[in-house]
Amino acid sequence: MTAEPLEIHLEERDLARSLRDDVRTGLTAQPKWLPPKWFYDARGSELFEEITRLPEYYPTRAERAVLVERADLIAELTGAKTLIELGSGSSEKTRLLLDALSRRGTLGTFVPLDVSVSALRQSTADIAAEYPQLRVRGIVGDFTRHLGRLPAGGRRLVAFLGGTIGNLLPDERAAFLAAMRAALEAGDWLLLGTDLVKDPAVVVPAYDDAAGVTAEFNRNVLRVVNRELGADFVPADFAHVAHWDAGREWIEMRLRARRPVRVRVPELDLTVDFAAGEDLRTEVSAKFRPAGIATELAAAGFATERFWTDPDGLFGVTLARA
């Protein structure tokens, strides 16, 4: 089957409006911040793909190892008819699930949801061609806002992989899991990927690689704001910082002004001043403990059925029942 036309729940103008709101709110806050979703224009998505291949960036390989090992068991336990993938991007690891569910013979529909129209067009076309028996329904949407639009019915398995849930702040995370549970019915399933707490000597280099790819990825958000809102950030004025917050057990990526910097954002009629050494927080990437994951899932109404890690115990994948 060819992929069905994308269902669009997020128009260009919604995206433009939320970027403007986020930039105004974040750059006038103290301390300054921007949400990580704005990293992912075409160049940012390419840089992220490059990150996943870096020797220091273990999460992608570790999660893939879990899925290689467990995909058939996941297919057996869930018997899913519909696989929904949130923040699907290139859907690379998803093929392991599609293969296992196809072997099992239960799968009829694949529903990738992503904010990026270009990423979805590519992945839905590729997957429809590779899995001719599958119905492929791509949804352009934001997983923090459009969970109510997921197709109903069938035994559904929602995959939220990559540790992306760690990019939400704790209150956003609780709200997301509650909304996810509300969008599902008893008997549906959630497959959740979470990076685990470990020695900072392993975590920090994953966010501050020797080749400087993560630093470029981090600075890319400034290029996005320049292009979309006419701002005049000079990316080289900002140093990449990966800070391990031991109390909250998360990595914070920041951009640190190397000197006093004044930025104009004409589309917002805004001037922003950075003192030398002042930080702009661009991402939180929380790391989890197994007990904490189960507790947060239970608080949202999910029951943990299985929890797996890779052989090195770096990354966790939870299968939970709605």
Q: Which residues contact ligand AVJ (rule: CB under 6 A)?
A: 51, 59, 162-164, 166-167, 207, 214, 283, 285
* The Cα angle at residue 7 between residues 5 and 11, in degrees rounded to 5: 120
Q: Smallest distance, Å, CB 251 to ligand AVJ?
A: 7
Q: Indicate the residue among 42 and 129 with the shorter CB distance to ligand AVJ.
A: 42
**Is 287 one of the annotated binding-site residues?**
no
Q: Indicate the residue among 131 and 288 with the shorter CB distance to ligand AVJ.
A: 288
Q: Smallest distance, Å, CB 166 to ligand AVJ?
A: 6
User: Could you tell me which of 18, 28, 48, 89 has the C-alpha nearest to residue 220?
Assistant: 48
**Is 307 one of the annotated binding-site residues?**
no
What are phi and psi for residue 90, nearest 5 degrees?
Answer: -85, 0
Q: Indicate the residue among 268 and 293 with the shorter CB distance to ligand AVJ.
A: 293
Q: Smallest distance, Å, CB 57 to ligand AVJ?
A: 7
Q: Smallest distance, Å, CB 1 to ligand AVJ?
A: 30
**Per-state percent for the chain, helix, strand, coil, to nearest 5:** 40, 25, 35
Residue nearest to ligand AVJ (CB): 285
Q: Indicate the residue among 86 and 229 with the shorter CB distance to ligand AVJ.
A: 86
Q: Any idea what DSSP says for residue 288?
A: B
Q: Indicate the residue among 26 and 162 with the shorter CB distance to ligand AVJ.
A: 162
Structure tokens at 133: 């028996």
233-266 CB burial, b ≥16 within 10 A, e <16: bebebbebbbbbeeeebbbbbbbbbeeebebebe
Q: Indicate the residue among 162 and 316 with the shorter CB distance to ligand AVJ.
A: 162
**Is 93 one of the annotated binding-site residues?**
yes
Structure tokens at 314: 């770096």
What are phi and psi for residue 127, nearest 5 degrees?
Answer: -70, -40
Q: Smallest distance, Å, CB 285 to ligand AVJ?
A: 3
Q: Smallest distance, Å, CB 39 to ligand AVJ?
A: 7
Contact 179, 147 (CB under 8 A): yes
Q: Smallest distance, Å, CB 153 to ligand AVJ?
A: 30
**Is 218 one of the annotated binding-site residues?**
no
**Is 213 one of the annotated binding-site residues?**
no
**Is 12 one of the annotated binding-site residues?**
no
User: Could you tell me which of 309, 293, 64 has the C-alpha nearest to residue 165?
Assistant: 293
**Is 4 one of the annotated binding-site residues?**
no
* DSSP secondary structure of 215-279: HHHHHHHHHHHHHHH-----GGGEEEEEEEETTTTEEEEEEEESS-EEEEEGGGTEEEEE-TT-E
**Is 284 one of the annotated binding-site residues?**
yes
- Provide the residue type at 249 as one letter: E
**Is 207 one of the annotated binding-site residues?**
yes
Q: Indicate the residue among 49 and 76 with the shorter CB distance to ligand AVJ.
A: 49
d(CA 142, CA 179): 13
* The Cα angle at residue 5 between residues 189 and 127, in degrees rounded to 5: 60
Q: Show binding-site residues for L-histidine.
A: 57, 167, 207, 283-285
Q: Show binding-site residues.
A: 57, 87, 93, 114, 142-143, 167, 207, 283-285
Q: Show binding-site residues for S-adenosyl-L-methionine.
A: 87, 93, 114, 142-143
